[in-house]
Amino acid sequence: MTALCTTRSDRPYCWTDALAPGGRRAFFWLATIAIVLLFLGPIVILVVTSLRPGWAVFYIYRGTDFTLQNYRDVLATEAVIHAFVNSFLVATLATIVSIGVTVSSGYMLSRFRGPIPRAWFGTIYVFRTVPYISWVLPLYLVCYHLGIYDTYAGILLPHIAVHICFFSWIMKGFFDGIDPSMEYAALVDGCTRWGAFLRVALPSAIPAIAALGILSWLYTWNEFLFALILTGHNTALITVTMAQFVTELGTAWNLMSAMAVMAMGPAIIITLFAQKYVVRGLRI
Amino acid sequence: MAKTHPAVSNGVAPRTAPDQPNAEPRLGEKERFMLLLIAPAGIVLVLFQIVPIIFGANASFRDWQLFNPAQTWVGLKHYLYILSDSTFLTVVLPNTFLLMFLSVTLSLIGGLALAHYLHRNFAGQWLMQTIILLPQMIAPVIGAMMMRWVFNDQFGVVAAFLDWVGFGPISWLAQRWPSFFIVIFTDVWIWTPWFALILLAGLRSLPREPFEAAQIDAAGAWRTFTHLTLPMLRPVIAVCVLIRSIDAFRTFDVVWILTGGGPARSTEVFSIYTYIETFVNLDFGRGSAAAIIGALIILAVAGAMYKVAGRVTDVSR
């Protein structure tokens, strides 16, 4: 009996109990192998590709030549560095602002009843449903006319706008999980509504907000459509720069993989070290 | 004074005349607080979603070529063009809904299976959860690139495997249905973890007693699943399916990187069609009309789904 197969003793029934013990273990191991192959396999292939020299990249499962040259080449490209800096700045700023803007909106949705919250919830629901392209497309022209196309503002503001609907909704869920009686007590003791919100409710929501912040950062870092439409040379973001590797160089899989692996870095670090927060933030 | 404040008018019983303001103003302190709370979010929403949508609606009625200053009003011309465009009707719409349906259904099934897999506590549980979570965390663009490389018809790992098994090479991205299969496979690969983790949280929050009762009654694993787990998870599943369907409708990056809508526009979905009309054919009027038609379609579909979901569970909670 390996440790991997120990089921929790306090849980009386597990679905695999229907199988005979030997079959159960075999089934479990098969499932494990399938999951690793399916979910980790493509990522491993990408990492291995990024470590192969250019001439050996096409038969990555043959030969044992490995090199870090691809990473050196990619890091020597100014456009790549530029894109990483841009993506980092945009993701960080968009996260801070969109969280700051939606905290209060979620709190309102959670704590009040009546026509205003109902109207706001309806608005959020409708604009969450509208496809991104339906407002990013004309936003391109709006930005162009405002003269903020290909500036940080031009890419930052839509990234904030896109989070408003969903985050307000998720924040509402966070505040729903916090008992409002403390706020009522604070109000009775003469605290203002703002005080009850900022000093009583907000501190209890901080862990949940941090979880959402991590996800928000990653979503912005990973976003492609906005970056494709709303950025030019000045504010190019990693996802678009990476996509250009494929079309321009066609067969430069080794360089593209090296850049993709670096772009995956934050995702992997977050998954490994902040998984608790990710799981919490994914909850709907 | 007495007229505006009936409540303090020297001892006379307060009366509220219809032409006089109430003692408490309509926009009370509470309402002002509520509006202030949503003001920042509302302003950003108006400026960067609602204003562009109005702008786009205006453009959709005009002959608006990019960088051509003459923007003549052409009425419903673009709408009529798109609604009679055979590419839109016979390729784009079916593809969009097929992708939406298959991606959501398959990720839901996969997610349920993975949630059950993770639900048992075993020593490597954290590691397996990490592996399962990764596709959701990395950028869809990277996921799509990986799959493009994995399914490369000459050098991909799948091609090597098929060769080893004895199948001839399949040029995945040169034909409609193999390309579409890869698009769906990639989308399911990215979104199954999302379903899995949400459903896992749902599974963990289920009460234990019904399962103990089922065990005492010697119900099989499958019966327990269909008669207990599924009905009890129904609210979570409904919300997941609703959110994910709306998001699947606007899928862009995965299709764009994998096929670009090709071969010969056969894998175009709504977002790709709109993008191509605007930035490849450089016709902003037509692109805007497509964007608005798509938005109206998904609003109608989502509204219907919301109604159905509302019957299953209170989605707004």
A252 and chain B: CB distance < 8 Å anywhere? Answer: no
Whole-number pLDDT of residue B188: 95
Q: Which of the two residues, A275 and B296, has the higher pLDDT score?
A: B296
Q: How far apart are CA B232 and CA B243, in angstroms?
A: 19
Decide if A225 and B252 are in contact by the 8 Å CB cutoff.
yes
Decide if B146 and A45 are in contact by the 8 Å CB cutoff.
yes
Whole-number pLDDT of residue A15: 59
Q: Fill in the DSSP letter of residue B2.
A: T
Nearest to B34 among A116, A223, A267 (CB): A116
Q: Show the low-confidence residues of chain A (pLDDT under 70).
A: 1-21, 59-63, 246-251, 284
**What does the pLDDT average to over B259-278?**
87
Decide if A4 and B122 are in contact by the 8 Å CB cutoff.
yes
CA distance to A231, B184, B188, per residue, from B100 (Å): 28, 9, 10
Whole-number pLDDT of residue B168: 72
The SS3 assignment for B283 reads strand
Whole-number pLDDT of residue B1: 35
Please give the structure tokens belonging to residue A60. 């990555």
Whole-number pLDDT of residue B217: 81
Omega of the bond leading into B52 within 30 degrees of 0 (cis): no
In this predicted complex, what is the ipTM?
0.85
Decide if B30 and A275 are in contact by the 8 Å CB cutoff.
no
Q: Fill in the DSSP letter of residue B13.
A: P
How far is the alpha carbon of B175 from chain A, nearest alpha carbon, in Å? 19
Decide if B134 and A225 are in contact by the 8 Å CB cutoff.
no
- CB contact residues (below 8 A), chain A span 151-190, against chain B: 157-158, 160-161, 164-165, 168, 173, 176
Whole-number pLDDT of residue A250: 60
pLDDT above 70 for B293: yes
pLDDT digits (tens, 9 = 90+) for A168-220: 888 888 888 888 888 888 888 888 888 888 888 888 888 888 888 998 999 89
* Residue numbers in B near A239 (CB within 8 A): 139, 141, 253
* Residue numbers in A near B297 (CB within 8 A): none
pLDDT digits (tens, 9 = 90+) for B71-119: 778 878 888 888 888 888 888 999 999 999 999 999 999 999 999 888 8
Q: How far apart are CA A32 and CA B124, in angstroms?
A: 10
Whole-number pLDDT of residue B6: 39
> A180, B68 in Cβ contact below 8 A?
no
Whole-number pLDDT of residue B191: 93
Whole-number pLDDT of residue A64: 73
Name the fold adopted by B77-312: MetI-like fold (1.10.3720)
Structural domains of chain A sorted by starting position, each given as residue range(s) with its CATH number in brackets: 14-71 (no CATH), 74-282 (1.10.3720.10)
Decide if B38 and A104 are in contact by the 8 Å CB cutoff.
yes
Whole-number pLDDT of residue A14: 59
* Residue numbers in A near B126 (CB within 8 A): 275
Structural domain boundaries in chain B: 77-312
